[in-house]
Chain A
């Protein structure tokens, strides 16, 4: 059977790709689309390493069929920095060493960005609950949580 043709928008750019009906969005991102920043950890929606946004809503790309992207807006880690200028979360993760091996990092960043868009002043508890679907085996989470909160502080100050 012929592959399915999908037209979608990724990081603001119109994109087209071909996929099998059973391919996940993560398969399409990492395969034909060549966007390998989203990682596959568990492939069952537990680890969050494949986090993207679908019409501004945080989802696991491993739990979405690629064909479901038709007509929708996706954001991936590749769209987070503006050219060479890192997003404040990316910069803060670097400064505060909120990563080690890096497998969880793109998912952590996408999820944290989704949180800060919804809540510019999250409490530590809110950050920890929000990131409960993003697993990290290296950092013990503390540096990640602190980096997100510090970024939130700085982004609020910058907005004033």
Chain B
């Protein structure tokens, strides 16, 4: 058995070199709330752990010049919640990130880790997809950008190339009348894994929905961008007919599994119900902006 090595580089370049030289034995450590559980259970046996929390870019929250945000991939949920502006601009994305685990988990867990863990039920992912977040990746081949919806490849897998690190998320500027929301269905009130999760981001002008994105989680091998649901909402006054069409589009997009948390039939129905409720919250918030 090979010994485990722990490295905590101060720069991204060093982290990429360390990860590249570790090959398949390398693991990134951000909050560790998934990695340490996986190590404990024996599901992963890393040879090298690269702790990225000493890299300034990966723990920073910045407002970009155009009015958007750049969030380091390792920023914990609790830190994001304390930012004076982020939760006002992106309340739905913040509530999704803050639903990951307990207060203790929030002290460490990051949206970057939630995405790279590759769970179809990760709470932050549908909200990131709805937000139109762009992931910045860096690896031995340089830096590139990828839409968040293109990152997951299947349960536990991503489309990151070997040696690539998720560095940050970029969120676009928000036009007036924009907001977002995230709802998940769980049988309890806290500390559970989504049976269905829906993220909605929209813009309303003079009572008409002018832009919308819908992210749907826990109903397919990866989190889905449901463009048909967004099309049903855009151009409407979010009336019953539009909501019904968008809900039907969400249910139609579902390719879930039966498991102990929910059946295929249940998940498919709930996806539509949650879409309507999530739109209502996002629309109400957008009205105040």
Binding site for B on A (CB under 8 A): 1, 4, 20-22, 24, 43-46, 48, 51, 54, 57-60, 62-65, 67-68, 70, 111, 114-115, 129-130, 132-134
> Which residues of B, 44-97, contact A by the 8 Å Cβ criterion?
49, 51, 53, 76, 78
Q: B104 near A60 (CB under 8 angstroms)? A: yes
Max count, chain A CB within 10 A of own CB: residue among B4, B32, B41, B190 = B32
14 A-B residue pairings within 8 Å (CB atoms)? A21-B3, A21-B4, A58-B107, A60-B102, A60-B104, A60-B105, A63-B31, A63-B37, A64-B108, A65-B6, A65-B49, A132-B102, A132-B190, A133-B104
> Which residues of B, 98-137, contact A by the 8 Å Cβ criterion?
101-105, 107-108
Q: In chain B, what residue has the closest Cβ to A44? A: B37
Rounded to whole angstroms, the CA-CA distance of A64 and B51 in the bound complex is 11
Q: Collect the chain A residues with CB atoms within 8 Å of residue B260's CB.
A: none
Given contacts A60-B108, A133-B102, 18 further A-B pairs with CB under 8 A are A21-B4, A21-B6, A22-B39, A44-B37, A45-B101, A45-B104, A59-B104, A60-B104, A63-B104, A64-B36, A65-B49, A65-B51, A68-B32, A68-B53, A70-B8, A133-B104, A133-B105, A133-B191
Q: A22 near B104 (CB under 8 angstroms)? A: no
Q: B104 near A65 (CB under 8 angstroms)? A: no
Q: A133 near B6 (CB under 8 angstroms)? A: no
Rounded to whole angstroms, the CA-CA distance of A44 and B102 in the bound complex is 12
Q: A57 near B4 (CB under 8 angstroms)? A: no
What are the interface flags for B17-36 relative to A under an 8 Å C-beta threshold, 1 for contact and 0 otherwise?
Answer: 00000000000010111001
Query: Given A43-B40, A45-B37, A132-B191: A63 and B105 within 8 A (CB)?
Result: yes
Q: A65 near B103 (CB under 8 angstroms)? A: no
Q: B51 near A68 (CB under 8 angstroms)? A: yes
Number of A-B contacts (CB under 8 A): 84
Q: Collect the chain A residues with CB atoms within 8 Å of residue B37's CB.
A: 44-45, 63
Q: Collect the chain A residues with CB atoms within 8 Å of residue B76's CB.
A: 57
Q: B6 near A63 (CB under 8 angstroms)? A: no
Q: Collect the chain A residues with CB atoms within 8 Å of residue B53's CB.
A: 68
Q: A64 near B32 (CB under 8 angstroms)? A: yes
The majority secondary structure among interface residues of chain A is mixed
Rounded to whole angstroms, the CA-CA distance of A8 and B105 in the bound complex is 22
Whole-angstrom distance between the Cβ of A31 and the nearest chain B Cβ: 16
Query: Given A45-B33, A45-B37, A132-B190: A21 and B49 within 8 A (CB)?
Result: yes
In the complex, B255 has a CB within 8 A of chain A = no
What are the interface flags for B180-191 relative to A under an 8 Å C-beta threshold, 1 for contact and 0 otherwise?
Answer: 000000000111
Whole-angstrom distance between the Cβ of B50 and the nearest chain A Cβ: 12
Q: Collect the chain A residues with CB atoms within 8 Å of residue B191's CB.
A: 46, 132-133
In the complex, B5 has a CB within 8 A of chain A = yes
Q: B33 near A130 (CB under 8 angstroms)? A: no
Whole-angstrom distance between the Cβ of B35 and the nearest chain A Cβ: 9
Q: Collect the chain B residues with CB atoms within 8 Å of residue A20's CB.
A: 4
